Structure 1
Amino acid sequence: MTDEVRALEVGRGREPERSCARELKTGFNWSGHARILLLTFAVSAVALVLIVAALNPYGNLPWSFTGSHVVMDDNQRFQYPALVREKDYDSVVVGTSTSRLLDPELLDAQFGGRFLNLALNDGRAWEQSQLMHLVQSEGAKLHTLIVGLDVVWCDQRADERRITKRGFPDWMYDANPWNDFPFMLNGKAVEIAGRKLAYHLGLTEARISSRGFEVFVPPDASYDAEKAKRKIWGNRGHRRTAASKPYVASDEERKGWDFPALKWLDADLGALAAQRVILVFMPVHIAAQPRLGSDVAAVETECKSRIAGLARRHDAYLIDFRRHSQLTTRDENYWDNLHYRLPIAGQIIDSLGEALKTGGAAADGTWHVLAQPAGK
């Protein structure tokens, strides 16, 4: 502050330092602003708690003000526990997205009972095992259990790769619903609660049916063969050739192959004790299958053999569609190298019924029965 300014301030009867202090003191009400912020936070927190509590977005809380659970999100890991606990089924499907198009109503007609489809997008073996354990812990007496098998069950690192980037809510799968609430105080839960409110106001439809079924592929009328072919093959060319010299593993090498997920499957089948168990290697396109004669194919063959032994121990069927056949070699049957078209799903269900009745193999080689209950 210059001497001239200081003199002017003194001339006005003000001490410069005190003047600045008063301006700082009276220019902004910090304590009042802090109280407003705290009050806003408290009101928002209470509103969050009330919204989540009232609408129960995951259907996992020990109360419901809106009736049966409505699935309003497509992360099935967070939504299926509520469907399991509602117990409106006596048969279930477990698997990955390659099993999601198995329509419960068509399965009802083929096998009897009332099916719930619990297949998960990119479902890891451990996640599927957790669903089976939940079904068992809820006391379900299953008429039919269908497990759609994919490469995840033969993954030698399945114990390390238990979940995906989608996360897995262990807290939803235990027996205590009261410990779930703290995990639900977040924006995602509020978003789903909002969708659920919109559903009850008649403004939108459920994301997935109460039986776990959703046609997640595009309408079949929009199928574009060239686009599908590009998705199936990518830059790999439009054919698969067998290895020029088939890989032959030694007995010692095969014994060293470990498939951790098969221990979980063995335990789950023993605990569930379903009246009928159908294990199914699902029909992915040959572009997603190992090259014939390769070392990867040898590992998969060994895994299938061990699952066949497991199936026999549990008096279960094992039906293999994961093979080179008229189904899996035709590009026009698929949207990409994993997902078949909707009419194919109906054919798979019909083929499962035929396989259980006749055993053996399909006349066109589409499926082979690798194991069946004793006496069949």
Structure 2
Amino acid sequence: MKNKTWLLIFSVVVLVCVVVISSLTVYVDPYMHYHKPLINKFYYELDNQRSQNNGIIKHFDYDAVITGTSMTETFKTSEMDEIFGCNAIKVPFSGASFKEINDNLELALKTHPNIKYVIRSLDRYGFLAGKNAMRDDLGDYPTYLYDNNPFNDIEYLLNRDVLYNRIYNMAVDAKYQGKVGITSFDEYSNWMKHYKFGKDAVLRALFEDREYKFYDAEQTETLSDEERETIRETVVQNITALADLYPNTQFYYFLPPYSAAYWGSLRQRGELKKQIEIEEYALSLIVSHKNIHLFGWNRFDITDNLNNYKDFTHYGEWVNSWMLYQMHQDIGRLDESNYQTYLKELYNHYMDFDYNSLITQTDNEDDFESARELEKEISNNR
């Protein structure tokens, strides 16, 4: 009898602890899985995309979305709100596949069917991935936050990291420092302050420990019929189907303006021609959809200037600001009449480009010198 009594007492104590801890997690809810953030009681640090974006999508009030890969991390929703006259959230998924981004957009439109605008990057490497491709090299994916199974929420409710590194610190900061609120979407995932820009940063990222030198190569790679079918399936499932389902939402999709160094890396691998073929077929499947506003810019004064980049693909936040203005003004929009011309111009420029001239470029002393040039362009055209 004594053993049974102790076992009962122990079980009750454990159950009470589980209920208390779970209730605390539900109340504070640092990943916003159950409700909106309690910004008058705690400070919510937005710093974990795949754990927090689902909660943002489900529980925030908004009528516009900025999403995509790291190509969208330095957008500022304050600028989009002003330019487009909306109330936007930013939910980037660094390194995401087209499927992951589309799945989350489906949730956004299911929970907020009156969304007016979606701004999304169509990263050039994504078209040739399978329609159901997901990144499996980014650590453990918090599927328990995305599915509808309440039982596996135990991984969140009794998560030691959430309890000690999130909830405890949030409670201490609120009590002793009065720190409440939430990270702004302008700051969320914005990596600008952590990097330098220019030739040295870009070429170091591209060549690593190798000599800075670009080589010519014959462009022998071509697109196979099997690859065309992969592209078609990926585009239909993850890009155009959702736009067709929500005809009143305007989808602003853009091809990120990667640097000249990116195209140089393709050219010396013999893959530049094939990349253009990939994009030509993919774009042919997109441009006929009237509520998809597809953008691509052959602004070689921007892409050939490595002062706009921290590596061979990631541009400074001033380029994001410029793209918002361009999209709102419908500048650089691709349709059935001009997308092939856009790609032909892109191909010709980067097939004939002297990539080794990038090595002799001069880095700006001030990274924001390029920003001021684009800001001047925007101001002059308003």
Q: TM-score, normalised by structure 1?
A: 0.71
Shifted more, 343-352 versus 144-153: the winner is 343-352
Query: Is residue 279 of structure 2 the alignment partner of residue 304 of structure 1?
Result: yes
Displacement of 1:111 in angstroms is 2.5
Query: Is residue 31 of structure 2 the alignment partner of residue 58 of structure 1?
Result: yes
Displacement of 1:177 in angstroms is 7.9
Match of 1:343 in 2: 318
C-alpha separation in 2, matches of 1:305 and 1:86: 38
| 1:121 to 1:346, Cα distance in 2 relative to 1, 3 A | same
- Three-state SS of the structure 1 residue aligned to 2:300 is coil
Query: Is residue 95 of structure 2 the alignment partner of residue 122 of structure 1?
Result: yes
Query: Is residue 240 of structure 2 the alignment partner of residue 266 of structure 1?
Result: yes
| 1:68 to 1:205, Cα distance in 2 relative to 1, 3 A | closer
| 1:274 to 1:267, Cα distance in 2 relative to 1, 3 A | same
Query: Is residue 292 of structure 2 the alignment partner of residue 320 of structure 1?
Result: no
Structure 2 gaps of 5+ residues are: 336-340, 345-382
C-alpha separation in 1, matches of 2:268 and 2:242: 32
Alpha-carbon contact 1:247-1:293 (below 8 Å) kept: no
Query: Is residue 260 of structure 2 the alignment partner of residue 286 of structure 1?
Result: yes
Aligned 1:1-376 pairs, distance under 5 A: 45-61=18-34, 71-157=44-130, 159-174=132-147, 176=148, 178-179=150-151, 181-184=153-156, 185-190=158-163, 191-198=165-172, 200-201=174-175, 202=177, 208-209=183-184, 213-218=188-193, 226-227=200-201, 229-238=203-212, 240-243=214-217, 245-247=218-220, 249=222, 252=225, 255=228, 258=231, 260-262=233-235, 263-289=237-263, 291-292=266-267, 296-315=271-290, 316-321=292-297, 325-354=300-329, 356-357=330-331, 359=333, 368=342
Give the AA of the match of 2:239: L
- Three-state SS of the structure 1 residue aligned to 2:271 is helix
Give the AA of the match of 1:318: L
Give the AA of the match of 1:338: T
Give the AA of the match of 1:352: M
Alpha-carbon contact 2:296-2:333 (below 8 Å) kept: no
Displacement of 1:54 in angstroms is 2.3
- Three-state SS of the structure 1 residue aligned to 2:155 is helix
- Three-state SS of the structure 1 residue aligned to 2:92 is coil
Alpha-carbon contact 1:284-1:328 (below 8 Å) kept: yes
Give the AA of the match of 1:317: H
Displacement of 1:349 in angstroms is 2.3
Alpha-carbon contact 1:147-1:278 (below 8 Å) kept: yes
Give the AA of the match of 2:295: I
C-alpha separation in 1, matches of 2:169 and 2:258: 34
| 1:135 to 1:273, Cα distance in 2 relative to 1, 3 A | farther
Q: TM-score, normalised by structure 2?
A: 0.70
| 1:143 to 1:44, Cα distance in 2 relative to 1, 3 A | same
Match of 1:9 in 2: none
- Three-state SS of the structure 2 residue aligned to 1:145 is strand
C-alpha separation in 1, matches of 2:179 and 2:260: 39
Shifted more, 269-278 versus 205-214: the winner is 205-214
| 1:342 to 1:37, Cα distance in 2 relative to 1, 3 A | same
| 1:199 to 1:83, Cα distance in 2 relative to 1, 3 A | farther
Give the AA of the match of 1:285: S
Displacement of 1:153 in angstroms is 2.2
- Three-state SS of the structure 2 residue aligned to 1:326 is helix
- Three-state SS of the structure 1 residue aligned to 2:93 is coil
Displacement of 1:135 in angstroms is 0.7
1:45-73 Cα offsets, whole Å, 9 max, x none, are 45532331221121112587666996425
Structure 1 gaps of 5+ residues are: 1-29, 362-366, 371-376
C-alpha separation in 1, matches of 2:142 and 2:32: 13
Displacement of 1:348 in angstroms is 2.6
Alpha-carbon contact 1:320-1:369 (below 8 Å) kept: no
Give the AA of the match of 1:83: I
Displacement of 1:39 in angstroms is 8.5
